[in-house]
Protein backbone atom coordinates (compact mmCIF):
# COMPACT_ATOMS: atom_id res chain seq x y z
CA UNK A 1 0.00 0.00 0.00
CA UNK A 2 1.42 3.35 -1.00
CA UNK A 3 -0.20 6.49 0.44
CA UNK A 4 -3.69 5.02 0.67
CA UNK A 5 -3.62 3.36 -2.75
CA UNK A 6 -3.59 -0.41 -2.91
CA UNK A 7 -1.01 -1.47 -5.47
CA UNK A 8 0.12 -5.05 -6.05
CA UNK A 9 3.14 -5.88 -8.19
CA UNK A 10 2.92 -9.37 -9.66
CA UNK A 11 4.83 -11.63 -12.00
CA UNK A 12 1.92 -12.08 -14.40
CA UNK A 13 0.50 -15.22 -12.80
CA UNK A 14 -3.19 -15.73 -13.49
CA UNK A 15 -3.94 -16.54 -9.85
CA UNK A 16 -3.70 -12.85 -8.93
CA UNK A 17 -6.39 -11.57 -11.31
CA UNK A 18 -9.45 -12.54 -9.30
CA UNK A 19 -7.94 -11.63 -5.93
CA UNK A 20 -6.95 -8.16 -7.12
CA UNK A 21 -10.38 -7.62 -8.67
CA UNK A 22 -12.22 -8.67 -5.51
CA UNK A 23 -10.01 -6.51 -3.27
CA UNK A 24 -10.06 -3.63 -5.80
CA UNK A 25 -6.26 -3.46 -5.94
CA UNK A 26 -4.42 -2.03 -8.92
CA UNK A 27 -2.16 -4.68 -10.38
CA UNK A 28 1.11 -3.96 -12.14
CA UNK A 29 3.42 -6.48 -13.79
CA UNK A 30 7.15 -6.71 -13.31
CA UNK A 31 9.29 -6.71 -16.44
CA UNK A 32 11.63 -9.62 -17.06
CA UNK A 33 14.61 -7.46 -16.07
CA UNK A 34 12.96 -6.53 -12.77
CA UNK A 35 12.10 -10.18 -12.09
CA UNK A 36 15.72 -11.22 -12.70
CA UNK A 37 17.00 -8.51 -10.38
CA UNK A 38 14.54 -9.45 -7.62
CA UNK A 39 15.46 -13.13 -7.89
CA UNK A 40 19.17 -12.29 -7.72
CA UNK A 41 18.70 -10.12 -4.62
CA UNK A 42 16.67 -12.86 -2.93
CA UNK A 43 19.34 -15.44 -3.74
CA UNK A 44 22.04 -13.12 -2.39
CA UNK A 45 20.22 -12.80 0.94
CA UNK A 46 19.62 -16.55 1.13
CA UNK A 47 23.33 -17.19 0.53
CA UNK A 48 24.33 -14.63 3.18
CA UNK A 49 21.95 -16.11 5.74
CA UNK A 50 23.22 -19.61 5.06
CA UNK A 51 26.87 -18.57 5.41
CA UNK A 52 26.05 -16.72 8.64
CA UNK A 53 24.44 -19.89 9.98
CA UNK A 54 27.58 -21.86 9.04
CA UNK A 55 29.76 -19.54 11.13
CA UNK A 56 27.32 -18.99 13.99
CA UNK A 57 25.15 -22.11 14.28
CA UNK A 58 22.20 -22.14 16.63
CA UNK A 59 23.10 -24.17 19.69
CA UNK A 60 20.01 -25.57 21.40
CA UNK A 61 20.31 -27.41 24.65
CA UNK A 62 18.62 -30.77 24.56
CA UNK A 63 16.51 -31.79 27.54
Does residue 61 fall inside a structural domain?
no
Query: 14-47 as b/e, with b when 16 or more CB fall inside 10 Å?
Result: eebeeebeeeebebeeeeeeeeeeeeeeeeeeee
Structural domain includes residue 42? yes
Average pLDDT by stretches of 10, the chain with 63 residues: 63 79 83 87 90 72 65
Instruction: Give the phi and the psi of residue 9 in degrees, each rounded to 5.
Output: -100, 125
Residue 28: give the domain boundaries.
7-55
Q: What total number of domains does the chain contain?
A: 1
Give pTM, 2 decimals: 0.49
Position 40 scores a pLDDT of 93
Amino acid sequence: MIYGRHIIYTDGGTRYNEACNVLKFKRYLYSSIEKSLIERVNQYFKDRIESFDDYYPCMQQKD
